[in-house]
């Protein structure tokens, strides 16, 4: 709006720019350039941080990013300590799952890309967030955790066993999650970094 302050009705100018395809409205107050004026691709991951925050890109999206699950992920999944929300935008679906406030900063990292950076979860944290958000699975022991990880999620076993067991177990402690704890115990028993 500051850039359009010379217009008598800046809101009307924004509407005209949207209708012409010169800008794309991601959500109220957040826009990206349309194809004609875009100099470089926008980052959906950075947009995820901006749409609803504080948040970090996590769960299925980051598991796919790290090559730990075989499926392509269409929706961009993030974690926040605020209320869970879903935004359906012209640039895709952005899903935000809630974690306890104390757990939020654990495993947070800054991922650099050409032109900027976004906040994302480490592999251990992305897995913990996926387990937390998956309310349909109840895990009661390491055997069930193993089935869930390698059959249901189809998690890459080599990638899993290279994870940091201590970080996954700390996620379990802070989130007070038995499901994550069983997965962390499996990792520790079978060779994850102690």
pTM of the model: 0.88
pLDDT, tens digit, 9 for 90 and up, residues 10-44: 788 888 888 888 888 899 888 888 888 888 888 99
Tell me the three state secondary structure of residue 121: strand
Calpha distance 31→55 (Å, rounded):
19
**Is 44 in the same domain as 118?**
yes
Q: Which residue has the higher pLDDT, 183 or 41?
A: 183
CB atoms within 10 A of CB 156: 17
pLDDT reported for residue 87: 97
User: Which sign, positive or negative, has the C-alpha torsion 192, 167, 148, 94?
Assistant: negative
Domain count, the chain: 3
Judge contact between 59 and 97, C-beta under 8 A: yes
pLDDT reported for residue 69: 96
Last residue of a domain, one of 106, 122, 138: 122
pLDDT, tens digit, 9 for 90 and up, residues 160-179: 999 999 999 999 999 999 99
Kindly indicate the confidence band of residue 126, based on its pLDDT and cuts at 50, 70 and 90. Answer: very high
**Is 25 in the same domain as 46?**
no
Kindly indicate the confidence band of residue 193, based on its pLDDT and cuts at 50, 70 and 90. Answer: low
- Region 147-163: mean pLDDT is 95
Calpha distance 99→85 (Å, rounded):
12
The domain containing residue 68 runs over which residues? 40-122
**Is 93 in the same domain as 150?**
no
**Is 132 in the same domain as 184?**
yes
SS3 sequence, 6-41? Answer: CCCCHHHHHHHHHHCCCEEEEECCEEEECCCCCCCC
**Is 93 in the same domain as 23?**
no
Last residue of a domain, one of 105, 122, 139: 122
Judge contact between 44 and 61, C-beta under 8 A: no
Q: Is the pLDDT of residue 91 over 80?
A: yes
Mean pLDDT of the chain: 90
Kindly indicate the confidence band of residue 1, based on its pLDDT and cuts at 50, 70 and 90. Answer: low
Judge contact between 159 and 168, C-beta under 8 A: no
């Amino acid at each position: 709006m500051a850039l359009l302050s010379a217009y008598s009705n800046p809101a009307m100018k924004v509407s005209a720019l949207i209708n012409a395809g010169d800008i794309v409205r991601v959500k109220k107050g957040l826009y990206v350039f349309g194809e004609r004026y875009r100099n470089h691709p926008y980052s959906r991951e950075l947009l995820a941080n901006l749409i609803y925050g504080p948040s970090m890109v996590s769960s299925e999206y980051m598991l796919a990013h790290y090559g730990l699950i075989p499926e392509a992920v269409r929706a961009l999944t993030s974690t926040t300590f605020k209320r869970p929300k879903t935004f359906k935008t012209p640039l895709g679906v952005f899903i935000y799952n809630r974690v306890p406030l104390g757990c939020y900063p654990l495993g947070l990292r800054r991922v650099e890309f050409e032109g900027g950076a976004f906040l994302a979860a480490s592999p251990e944290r992305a897995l913990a967030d996926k387990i937390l958000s998956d309310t349909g699975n109840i895990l009661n022991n390491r055997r069930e955790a193993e089935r869930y990880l390698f059959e249901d999620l189809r998690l890459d076993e080599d990638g899993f066993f290279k994870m940091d067991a201590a970080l996954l177990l700390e996620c379990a402690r802070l989130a007070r999650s038995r499901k994550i704890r069983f997965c962390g115990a499996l990792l520790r028993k079978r060779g994850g970094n102690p």
